[in-house]
Chains A and B, each alone.
Chain A
Amino acid sequence: MTASAIEDLLRELSPQVLATLVRRHGQFEGCEDAVQEAVLAAAVQWPVEGVPDNPRGWLVTVASRRFIDQVRSDHARRERESATATEVVPQDVPDSDDTLVLLFLCCHPALTAASQTALTLRAVGGLSTAEIARAFLVPEATMAARISRAKQRIKAAGSSFSLPDGAQRQDRLRVVLHVLYLIFNEGYTASSGSELHRADLAREAIRLARMVHAQLSEDAEVTGLLALMLLTHARRRSRTTSAGDLVPLDEQDRTRWDRALIAEGTELVKASLAGPALGPYQLQAAIAATHAGAATAQQTNWSQVHALYLILERIAPNPMVTLNRAIALAQIEGPRAALGLLSTLDGDERMAAHHRLLSVRAHLLEEIGDTAGAYEHYRRAAKATASIAEQRYLQSRAGRVRPRVRP
């Protein structure tokens, strides 16, 4: 087996091994350290001595031994801990379920979103702290502290290693999906130096979403989220120029869209829409599928996009959704109708100075020929954004409508 194949195998096995240990011993923090050590040992030994016949069993044995050693060396807690360590091992349940439980644990509601994402990537994604730190553009020490704090919080919350039941399970699943969505977005909205690493985050989010989907395929929102990721990821090659400038959807080279991902995503959307309930991820995926299905921007079925945003607005009211609906409305009823809809957002404090509202309004003003208004709004949007690529784009649009001053 090649070194990179061993690395892939270890990344796949490490969450399973961690889950098995946490189920046995119930101490997330200590188990996580022990598994990291076992994985490190494997990464050194296996390429030289060969991969054992039962690699997962090998890792569980080595990690358990490390964990028990760790517990024994802790004199103060010796008696209580060694009793735990020698407890009868509960009957093993399928690995896949355990990985899901682990994911639920990492997305514990007691944690901030930043900690949930970091812990998920570390414990379930099998990424090293250094890799996660690079992806989020922070020093390794910062990320290490964040992960360690997250593990302490979970311990303090006294969470048990099991899937929550009923309504609580649904609530927790929403958190899990949100965390995967955040990881994906972090990778998708890469704007500075380390784009490569950040693109890896999008791939990792898709891998985790596939894993959740494999087990909860009956959940329409799980299906919807996976579809949304695939359909969005399909456009990754055409959404920026080689210089890193943003390319808006209507100017993207659609021949560069990844057809295999689009086909898979579209099938998933169809499957999820056949179910009884409709959720925000499903609807966003359906919108992405509508765009993906149009050979050119002109051929987009804007009435369908608008109708989908209307439903989304109804089930999950949010000014961003209204803003997106306005873009669709402009295509079917014209820019004035869209500007009318946007004016309903002016009362919203969070939105009034938001760069997306400013930039959409700038585009619409440009369309109706109000170049002075468009110029003003492009400039304000460029000041308000925190993305350099977006700022460059907005400044260049502003430059195109700059009022001419006579010499």
Chain B
Amino acid sequence: MQFLISMHINPAVLDALTDEEKAAIGDGHGKFLAALKASGELITTQALVDPSQAVVVSVRNGQPVVTDGPFLEAKEYLGGFYLIDCEDKQRAIELASQIPDTAIAGLGVEVRQVMFADGQLEA
């Protein structure tokens, strides 16, 4: 079963962390990624640039309109994700709980099963 583990970050919460705490998060993700690769459960992972760099595209009267900034004005933004293939939902939750973000109040880690997939997965 494939699941998307998405990480919703709050920039204010991240900013408030000490350098050690930030480094610990980085290490935690590194270890998590290595373990996922070794077990054959990782499909891919990606991290996104800061939401301030996002643009929203809409088409009005046939003309594209591009607006700076994220679509949703929220405190939390999608920071990145892990796409995994594992035994069942229980295992996906077990894996998600190893992500360092889960231990920090104000950061959200969400697990959702994939329903349809297509396209090249090879990086």
A139 and chain B: residue at smallest CB distance: B121
**How far is the CB of A344 from the nearest CB of chain B, in Å?**
25
Across the two chains, which residue of chain B brings its CB closest to A134? B121
The answer for the CA separation of A113 and B86 in the assembled complex, in Å, is 10
- Any B CB within 8 A of the CB of A402: no
Say yes or no: is A170 at the interface (Cβ < 8 Å to chain B): no
B122 touches A139 (CB 8 A): yes
Bitwise, A130-142 to B at CB < 8 A (1) or not (0) is: 0000001111111
Q: Does A5 touch B at the CB level, under 8 Å?
A: no
Task: Say whether, besides A112-B87, A114-B87, A136-B85, A193 and B117 are in contact (CB < 8 Å).
Answer: yes
Residue among A142, A146, A193 with max Cβ neighbours from chain B (10 Å): A142
Q: How many residues of B contact A (CB 8 A)?
A: 22
Residues of chain B lying within 8 A (CB to CB) of residue A391: 115
Q: How far is the CA of A141 from the CA of B42 in the complex (A)?
A: 9
- 17 A/B residue pairs, CB under 8 Å, sorted by A: A112-B87, A114-B87, A115-B40, A137-B85, A138-B2, A138-B85, A138-B121, A141-B122, A144-B40, A145-B38, A145-B39, A148-B40, A149-B39, A191-B116, A193-B117, A193-B118, A387-B115
Within 8 A of B (CB), among A98-151: 112-115, 118, 136-149
CB-contact partner of A149 in B38, B85, B115, B123, under 8 A: B38
Known: A149-B38, A386-B115. 17 other contacts (CB 8 A): A114-B85, A114-B86, A136-B85, A137-B85, A137-B121, A138-B43, A138-B121, A139-B43, A139-B122, A142-B41, A142-B43, A143-B40, A146-B41, A147-B40, A148-B40, A387-B115, A388-B116
Let me know if B44 is at the binding interface, CB within 8 A: yes
Tell me if A386 and B113 are in contact (CB < 8 A): yes
Shortest B33–chain A CB gap in Å is 12
User: Which label, helix, strand, loop or mixed, suits the secondary structure of the B interface?
Assistant: loop
Count of chain A residues with a beta carbon within 8 Å of a chain B beta carbon = 26
Query: Would B39 and A146 count as touching, CB distance under 8 A?
Result: yes
Contact B42 A142 (CB under 8 A): yes
Distance between Cα atoms of A115 and B116 in the complex (Å): 22
The 9 tightest CB contacts between A and B, nearest first, are A146-B40, A145-B40, A139-B121, A193-B118, A138-B85, A386-B113, A388-B116, A192-B116, A139-B122
Interface residues of chain A, those whose CB is within 8 Å of chain B, are 112-115, 118, 136-149, 191-193, 386-388, 391
Q: Which residues of A contact B2 (CB under 8 A)?
A: 137-138
Q: Is B37 interfacial (CB-CB < 8 Å)?
A: yes
* B112 nearest CB neighbor, chain A only: A386
Contact of B122 among A118, A140, A147 (CB under 8 A): A140
| Chain A positions within 8 Å of B122 at CB level | 139-141
Q: How far is the CA of A142 from the CA of B42 in the complex (A)?
A: 6
Residue in B40, B44, B122 whose Cβ sees the most chain A Cβ within 10 Å: B40
Tell me whether A139 and B87 are in contact in the complex, defined as CB-CB below 8 angstroms, given that A192-B118, A386-B115 are known contacts. no
Q: Which residues of A contact B38 (CB under 8 A)?
A: 145, 149
Q: Which residue of B lies closest to A114 (CB)?
A: B87
**Partner of A113 from B43, B87, B114 at Cβ < 8 Å:** B87
Q: Quick one: which of B93-118 are within 8 Å of A by CB?
A: 113-118
